[in-house]
Amino acid sequence: MAAHPPERPHPLARTPLIDKACAALEKAWSKGIPPPLIDPDDLWRRAAKGTNIAAEHGGRSQEDIIDFRERLHALCDAVLTEARLNALGKTMAHGQIMRVIKQRLGLGQLWSDKPDLLDTQLAPPIIVVGQMRSGTTRIHRLLAADPAHSATRFCDSWYPVPRKIDMRPLWGGMMLAMARKLDPWIDALHPMGSQRAEEELGWLASALGHSTYDTQWHVPNFTRFCEERDARPLYREFTRILKTDAAHHGNAGRPRVLKVPQFAEELSALLAQFPDARLVVANRHDDDVLHSSMSVVANQMTIQSNNVDLDWVESEWRRKLKLRQAHVQSTLADFSGAVAHVHFDELGADWESEIERIYNELDLELTPRARAEMAKEMASSEGGAHRTHAAQLQGFRSDAAA
């Protein structure tokens, strides 16, 4: 793969491979091969083949089981009635939801067999909170570079069930290779590697948190359904997965650096699990966050739908950004723990000074080794594909204004 992807001529541009895949799927369906069903009962039945259906109860309360089932029904209904997916999108939606159900059963079986995993004692985490595209990834990866901390690998986020022979790095690599085939601009938006430190978005997706789904599909009813319900079951599952991952890797004694933009919407539920957490709150100018977020969402949606409405994307993300701001402000007003604020521009201008300030405000020790590892992280990102996003974003803004 080239270091720099081709410049995207339009925010909704996509590769010919997507159109070819859609045509091939539609042709197969016209010849009698049934298209994938997005039906919760059918998906559950297919995903559960060869497994112990009672495994779902492992480590989970009845309340948490009901929460997942209700989310599943709401998501499937929204995909069917709102998402306007093309043939590739329908196939991908079916595969994603199937994988989530299989992982849920796999985790439940693991916790039934090894309940002591859920007794794992975790060091207080460091939680990066902020809007999507506000600099949270840079902060997260700098803090994760410190050997005194731990972080979640991309492959473990999206494949959370540990194995004796760990094939997850390979699976994560294959997942990214396919994603890059479909979307050659993906690393310009968010550089990733199978074993690289990554946000725990996959863990929230496995509990059917909404942010994985409403950034790739038009599912506003599912989004509202999730926003209006209690998020505590979501973060109880998140905590169970974190304990399992920490026990598997033997790093429970080191603070985990956690980051998912969805945290901003549900920070109080997350802090109910980790009341002794340290927080780093990222900030960026609202217009920059909005347009960068729109660029990412449009890029993801256009792969799976031929009917992406940019006006709707802008309206929805204006609403979502205000919602997240309000939730963070409300939660921080009642939080008595350590908090450090950092601005996107200041971090970009002098990351070393900002990191030193963050460590001081969180009462953390910034060692020479940590500084050296952070410098390596920054050097590795220089000239990376994500640098081209500024030019792409300017084009997006021009198109949006027009």
Alpha-carbon distance 211 to 266, whole Å? Answer: 11
State both tokens at 99.
Answer: 């994988």
Strands ordered across the beta sheet of 339-343: 257-259, 126-129, 278-283, 339-343
pLDDT in tens, 85-139: 999 999 999 999 999 999 999 999 999 999 999 999 999 999 999 999 999 999 9
- pLDDT grade for 211, boundaries at 50, 70 and 90: very high
Residue 390: per-residue pLDDT: 46
State both tokens at 316.
Answer: 């929805």
Residue 338: per-residue pLDDT: 98
Angle formed at CA 59 by CA 58 and CA 63, multiple of 5 degrees: 100
Alpha-carbon distance 330 to 268, whole Å? Answer: 9
Note whether 90 and 37 are within 8 A (CB). Answer: no
Residue 53: per-residue pLDDT: 82
Alpha-carbon distance 122 to 253, whole Å? Answer: 6
State both tokens at 150.
Answer: 């731990």
Among the ranges given (44-48, 259-263, 347-351, 384-388), the one the predictor scored with the smallest mean pLDDT: 384-388
pLDDT at 10 exceeding the cut of 60: yes
State both tokens at 172.
Answer: 């994560």
State both tokens at 239.
Answer: 């905590």
Q: List strand residue ranges (DSSP E) for 163-286, in order.
A: 257-259, 278-283
pLDDT more than 90, % of the chain: 85
State both tokens at 318.
Answer: 């204006």
State both tokens at 328.
Answer: 């963070």
For CA atoms 215, 221, 227, 230, the dihedral sign is negative
Alpha-carbon distance 250 to 121, whole Å? Answer: 11
Among the ranges given (21-30, 169-178, 186-195, 308-317), the one the predictor scored with the smallest mean pLDDT: 186-195
User: What average pLDDT score do residues 327-347 get?
Assistant: 97
Please tell me the pTM assigned to this model. 0.92
Note whether 392 and 188 are within 8 A (CB). Answer: yes
DSSP state of 55: G
Other residues' Cβ atoms within 10 Å of the Cβ of residue 290: 20
pLDDT in tens, 129-141: 999 999 999 999 9
Note whether 207 and 232 are within 8 A (CB). Answer: no
Among the ranges given (13-17, 34-38, 193-197), the one the predictor scored with the smallest mean pLDDT: 13-17
Instruction: Render the burial of 169-196: b for 16+ CB within 10 Å, e for the rest.
Output: beebeebbeeeeebbbbbbbbebbebeb
Residue 8: per-residue pLDDT: 55
Q: Crossing angle of helices 368-381/351-361, nearest 10°? A: 140
Alpha-carbon distance 368 to 16, whole Å? Answer: 49
Residue 345: per-residue pLDDT: 95
CA R_g for the chain: 21
- pLDDT grade for 7, boundaries at 50, 70 and 90: low
Residue 186: per-residue pLDDT: 85
Alpha-carbon distance 201 to 319, whole Å? Answer: 21
Q: Between 295 and 219, whose confidence is greater?
A: 219
Q: Measuring CA to CA, which residue among 82, 128, 74, 131 is closest to residue 318?
A: 131
pLDDT in tens, 238-255: 999 999 999 999 999 999
